[in-house]
Amino acid sequence: MVDDKTNEITVIPEILKKLCIEGAIVTLDAMGCQSAIAEQIIEQKGDYILRVKANQGQLHEAMKRTFEQGENLQYQAMTYYKAKDETNNDHVLPLMYLFGMKLKWKGLKSLVLVISERETHEEKTEE
């Protein structure tokens, strides 16, 4: 929990300063997906996995276009990993496809697209 006068974006860097993350992988949800936070993690000799959502405009669109391009080309001439299990379809593209993003996102090495499917079975009741 954070104070009413702040938010996670301002608290995450303070928490990271107190942690020894050298050699660790820091995972953060979309709230923590900030280039300054990524840079701090790299400076502290850690790595990161950050979640991107549609409310992160340009970043989300750049990633979406990259994966659409890969899909349109059937990932030909692209190195990627595809895992398929019961609930996920994952694609991992190395950074070579996002030169511009590497400038803003220090330590960025790859992009991962996870497509999850979930079924819910709601019981119908008669009234």
Q: In this predicted model, what pLDDT tens digit does every residue of 93-106 receive, in sequence order? A: 766 666 667 667 88
pLDDT of res. 122: 74
pTM of the model: 0.74
> Please, are residues 90 and 75 in contact by the beta-carbon 8 Å criterion?
no
Question: Which residue, among 109, 85, 84, 116, has the nearest Cα to 95 in the 3D structure?
Answer: 109
> Model confidence over 23-66: pLDDT tens digits?
999 999 988 999 999 999 999 999 999 999 888 878 888 888 88
